[in-house]
Amino acid sequence: MINPKEVNSLIRLLDDTDAEVYEHVHQKLRSYGTEVIEYLESAFEQAFDAIQQERIANLVHEIQFGTVKNDLQLWFHGGAFDLLQGILIINRYQYPDLDEQKVINQIEAIKRDIWLQMMNEASPVEQIKLMNHVFYSIHGFSGNTTNHRDAQNSYISQVLESKKGNQISLAIIYSIIAQKLDIPVYGVNLPQHFILAYMDESQETEFEGGILFYINAFNKGFIFGRRDVDMFLKQLNLKFDKQFYEPCSNADIIKRVLRNLISAYEHAGATEKVDELNELLGILEAPPAP
């Protein structure tokens, strides 16, 4: 249990000019973890000293970033089964106070609207056309073509609010909703583009691995075939590689989101954010513990 008196005494020492005292106080407050944040935020509001304010803000961020790192590690080493959980952890990097239930409710509302119109006997193509109608025409999602490099395109809470996102954020929301409806749609890590594949292993297809067709979530759910992927890779002068055609793991999807964020913040000159996001990427690139 936190002792409020002790905590507040320590916070008052954060502007101490003695480096040793400051370091000791900093580490002690950090050791309390997220429980100390409300005390720090309250002290920040009352602080008049610029140094103390900056040190409080940095400490809050350090604690919150430590939680994001820890949560991402647990998600990854736990098998990375829940894509929504993974993308919410990344969202927390920029929006630590996010009401995650709100995001879950927004996704459930779209899912319900699709489910109410879904017919039992619908073919795979009909299912996707119905999904597209609800997702793009009724809910108004679209690709952010005017500000494609903006980091906000990678945060699910912002995409659900603005209804605009990049290829991967729209594909993530689309596939999460599809899978909740038992529609087998999964992400495919195509270079310079992120697409979705409709899987049905019970049917004979032109593809290996039971892929019926592909979906472009950035272009209003446009349906296309394997030859289009072949042509796209040819334009990029890339040789055939199985991974460009088949679904990737949830961890690979989150890695790609992190790389997009790193690129966006590099472009904006936010070097501290780039360093921290590289740390998060490092967690997913480390081999799992034996």
Strands (E), 146-268: 164-165, 185-188, 195-199, 211-216, 222-224
Final residue in a domain of this structure, among 77, 101, 131: 77
Final residue in a domain of this structure, among 77, 108, 141: 77
> Looking at the structure, do residues 185 and 107 belong to the same domain, yes or no?
yes
> Looking at the structure, do residues 55 and 115 belong to the same domain, yes or no?
no
CA angle, 276 then 280 then 281, to 5°: 115
Tell me: the pLDDT tens digits for 218-244? 999 999 988 888 888 888 887 777 778
Split into its structural domains, the chain has a count of 2
Average pLDDT rounded to a whole number, residues 63-76: 95
Final residue in a domain of this structure, among 77, 97, 124: 77
Average pLDDT rounded to a whole number, residues 276-290: 86
**In the chain, % of residues over pLDDT 90:** 58
Residue 62 lies in a domain: yes
Range of the domain at 16: 4-77
Alpha-carbon span 20 to 236, nearest angstrom: 56
> Looking at the structure, do residues 255 and 142 belong to the same domain, yes or no?
yes
Q: What is the pTM of this model?
A: 0.88
> Looking at the structure, do residues 68 and 194 belong to the same domain, yes or no?
no
Interaxial angle between packed helices 4-12 and 19-31, expressed in degrees from 0 to 180 and rounded to the nearest 10: 150
**In the chain, % of residues over pLDDT 70:** 96
CB atoms within 10 A of CB 193: 16
Residue 205 lies in a domain: yes
CB atoms within 10 A of CB 66: 13
> What is each CA distance from 175 to 13, 139, 184, in whole angstroms?
49, 16, 8
> Looking at the structure, do residues 172 and 231 belong to the same domain, yes or no?
yes
Least Cα distance to 177 among 87, 53, 50, 240 occurs for 87
Q: Which helix (DSSP H) or strand (DSSP E) does residue 89 occupy? A: helix 83-94
Least Cα distance to 12 among 25, 28, 1 occurs for 25
Tell me: the pLDDT tens digits for 167-195? 999 999 999 999 999 999 999 998 888 99
Residues 200/247, Cβ–Cβ less than 8 Å = no
